[in-house]
Amino acid sequence: MKLLLASRNTHKAQELAELLPGITFVLWPPGAPEIPEDGTFFQDNALQKATFALAWWKQHGPEPIEGVLADDSGLCVDALWGGPGVLSARFAPELDYPTKNRKLLAMIPLDAPRTARFVCVLALAPMASPPFTVGAAVEGILALNHRGSNGFGYDPIFIPHGYEQTFGELPSDIKHTLSHRGRAARALKVRLEA
């Protein structure tokens, strides 16, 4: 199956390629427009990205595809009322991730709960049938400090339940078995196989 991936995030692209080896991904071309994402919820944004990219590809796409896959995801921190959440990619955009992660940790009061979850919604827009979504989350807590250099984004500050290491310290195959994206990808596979 050949799908266009409606994302400019190369880390997501790599994870999705590892999680969905049966799918050949066509990457969103460098000259294509920015994909809008101004929804309130992960599901809104995932659908918006997939349907926008599908409409653009139908007009301009240089090769045949069977549909478009989009991923909207983020880190929801209970002590920050669920933030940065859908705004995870836009939190402190001027900072690199180590500095951003330190800033986020500094915003958590010492006596506040450190519970958090990563959420991922995948939207699949086939060429000729309505789009659908699958979603998943992984629960965990925030580390006291940035730890490890695996993964990307907020991985070095997130400790999944049942582990002591952050996603930045755990190898990618363990992250894939636990993560929001891994769970959503497996749900997508089940849906496609059905």
List of residues contacting ligand ITT (CB under 6 A)? 7-9, 12, 37, 71-75, 88-89, 118, 151-155, 179, 181
Q: How far is the CB of 156 from ligand ITT (least distance, A)?
A: 9
Q: How far is the CB of 128 from ligand ITT (least distance, A)?
A: 24
Beta-bridged to residue 120, according to DSSP, are 73, 136
Q: Annotated catalytic, 38? A: no
**Spatial CB neighbours of 68, under 8 Å, sequence gap ≥ 6:** 3, 4, 5, 6, 50, 51, 53, 54, 57, 124, 125
Identity of the residue, 22 or 93, whose beta carbon is nearer to ligand ITT in the bound complex: 93
Pairing state of beta strands 2-5 and 67-77? parallel
Q: Which position among 72, 111, 155, 173 bears the catalytic label?
A: 72
Contact status, residue 128 vs residue 58, Cβ threshold 8 Å? no
Quickly tell me which residue has 């301009």 as its tokens: 60
In the bound state, the residue with its beta carbon closest to ligand ITT is: 153
Residues 5 and 125: their CA atoms lie apart, in Å, by: 11
Instruction: State the greatest distance between any 2 C-alpha atoms of the chain, in Å, as a whole number.
Output: 55
Q: How far is the CB of 155 from ligand ITT (least distance, A)?
A: 4
Q: How far is the CB of 82 from ligand ITT (least distance, A)?
A: 13
Residues 140 and 170: their CA atoms lie apart, in Å, by: 14
Identity of the residue, 110 or 162, whose beta carbon is nearer to ligand ITT in the bound complex: 162
Identity of the residue, 13 or 192, whose beta carbon is nearer to ligand ITT in the bound complex: 13
Identity of the residue, 155 or 169, whose beta carbon is nearer to ligand ITT in the bound complex: 155
**Spatial CB neighbours of 81, under 8 Å, sequence gap ≥ 6:** none
Catalytic residues: 72
